[in-house]
Amino acid sequence: MPPSARHPAARPALFCLLTLALCLTGCAPHPKIAAWVVRYDIETPAEVHEICRTAQETGLNRLLVQVRGRADAFYRSDLAPAPEPPAEVPAEFDPLAATLAACAPLEVEAWLNVFFLWGDTTPPLAARHPLNRDPGMVLRDADGRSVAEYSEEDRARGWIEGVYADPASAAYRRLFVQVVEELIRRYPVTGIHLDFVRYPGADYGQSGELGERFRARWGFDPRLLPKPLLAPDLDTWLRGEMAPGDRVLATAALLWAAMRAEAVTELVREVRAALAEAGRPLSLSAAVLADGGKAYLKHGQDWQGWIDQGLVNALYPMAYFGGPDRVGGQLRDVALAQRPQAPIRLWAGLGAYIKEPAEIGREAATAAGLGYDGISLFSLGHLLARPAGAAPYLAAVRTAGTRRPRPAPV
């Protein structure tokens, strides 16, 4: 006779233990799955149909749909111009409206490139484009040259993808916030997803409006500062082991980094305020550089500060490149920087477009073990172009296992 039969009072306790064991193995939450959708994959009704059919059949939870790539609008807008070639959007077609209709009831966030304005060396034609509307919005390099004047060779030397807006430009921030307000007023998206919300690199902004502000406040020309501090230099500075002259320069460099980061954060703050006035709950998320120190010191992207100030609801660290050690290390660093109960959702951004399903499955397992709330794949259109489609990648992610609690910060 089993012990439970001899002792009836033990049955409820045994039942609870079995239920708990089953929940630990079968009821624990799995990471949700999202995918980025690049604007060139929603140019026609047929493309939208295929994107949404795949998303629904493979059980995706969320789509991040790019509707602003080069300061343009893949939707109906009175503020941003229509896409220019090589985009091929029929004049009567509204890609965002079609995606929202075809993908319902999936969550669809509108993905907007923030400071990246233009990728070609030939200027845009539209009068409403920021490059034509107000050239003063454009970022300048340390020599005072507008990045809109760069040739392809200049861009390669300056490690810059194209033309950027100046994060310190109040005029550009106002325009961008107006774009967001118009979009959320006209379309029932579930949130706004920010990308390129950063400087392109360390060698930009010193001669512009922000540089003048820095000189006025600190009496020092930021163009004379050394290269941006990296982690080893910062550790030496924190320990007080730098020579006095180097310490002065390092302190000035940190002050400059903080001023650049605040210029970027101000736009995030203003977008957050606009969403709060929308009259319905809207999420604000951002795709960010996974290396937090480099993001802050080199690119002015203070995503940890955004979390601490409650400006964003979700963060998507982009850990696309390298093997499992590199990707796992980046995801671990982001997770360890967060309080276990921090009100932020972490989505591991994985580079499915350059990897095989098995690799993505291993990376997803690492993210689940670190307590990530979701996995986001870049990009759904790339996966649809594979011979076997997107299904093997989604299946690999689903084998990642259940989420564990986030590790305690160190």
Pull the structure tokens for residue 270. 């203003």
Q: Sign of the CA dihedral 222, 223, 224, 227?
A: positive
Whether the upstream peptide bond of residue 226 has omega within 30° of 0, thus cis, is no
**Sign of dihedral through CA atoms 302, 307, 309, 313?**
positive
Residue tagged 């030939």 (tokens): 122
Provide the pLDDT for residue 131. 96
Residue 101 placed within a domain: yes
Asked whether residue 112 is assigned to any structural domain, the reply reads: yes
Residue 283, classified by CB atoms within 10 Å of its CB into exposed (0-12), middle (13-18) or buried (19+), is middle
Range among 242-246, 311-315, 406-410 rated most confident: 311-315
pLDDT level of residue 335 (50, 70, 90 thresholds): very high
Residue 356 covered by a domain? yes
Query: Tokens for 92?
Result: 């009567």
CA distance 171 to 148: 17
In the chain, what is the greatest distance between 2 CA atoms, to the nearest angstrom? Answer: 88
What pLDDT is stored for residue 49 in this prediction? 98
Q: Establish if 409 belongs to a structural domain.
A: no
Residue showing tokens 């010193």: 206
Is the pTM above the cut of 0.85?
yes
The pLDDT, as a whole number, for residue 66 is 98
Mean pLDDT of 163-173: 98
Q: How much is the average pLDDT of 113-124? A: 96
48 contacts 95 by C-beta, under 8 angstroms = yes
Chain segment 185-215, per-residue pLDDT in tens: 999 999 999 999 999 999 999 998 899 999 9
Q: Dihedral (C-alpha) 198, 200, 203, 207: value to the nearest 10 degrees? A: -60
Q: Is residue 406 part of a domain?
A: no
Q: Which of 49, 64, 63 is nearest to 98 (CA)?
A: 49
Nearest partner of 290 among 323, 324, 335, judged by Cα: 335
CATH classification of the domain holding 138: 3.20.20.80
- CA dist., res. 384 & res. 391, Å (int): 9
Q: Which domain holds residue 71?
A: 31-204+261-398
- Model confidence at 410, in pLDDT bands (50, 70, 90)? low
Confidence bin at 404 (pLDDT 50/70/90) = confident
Which pLDDT value is given to residue 233? 77
Is residue 298 over pLDDT 80? yes
Within a domain: residue 3? no
Answer yes or no: are the C-beta atoms of 385 and 354 closer than 8 Å.
Answer: no
Residues 16-43 pLDDT 10s: 443 433 343 344 588 999 999 999 999 9
Q: Buried b / exposed e across 91-117, counting CB within 10 Å, b at 16+?
A: eeebbbebbbebbeebbbbbbbbbbbb
pLDDT at 85 over 50: yes
Separation between Cα atoms, residue 100 and residue 188, nearest integer Å = 8
If one counts every other C-beta atom within 10 angstroms of the C-beta of residue 309, the result is: 13
pLDDT at 231: 66
Is it the case that residue 340 has pLDDT exceeding 80? Answer: no
- 13 falls within a domain: no
Per-residue confidence (pLDDT) for residue 241, from 0 to 100: 87
- In this prediction, what percent of the chain has a pLDDT beyond 70? 91
Overall domain count for the chain: 1
Positive or negative torsion for Cα 319, 322, 326, 327: positive
Within-domain flag for 240: no
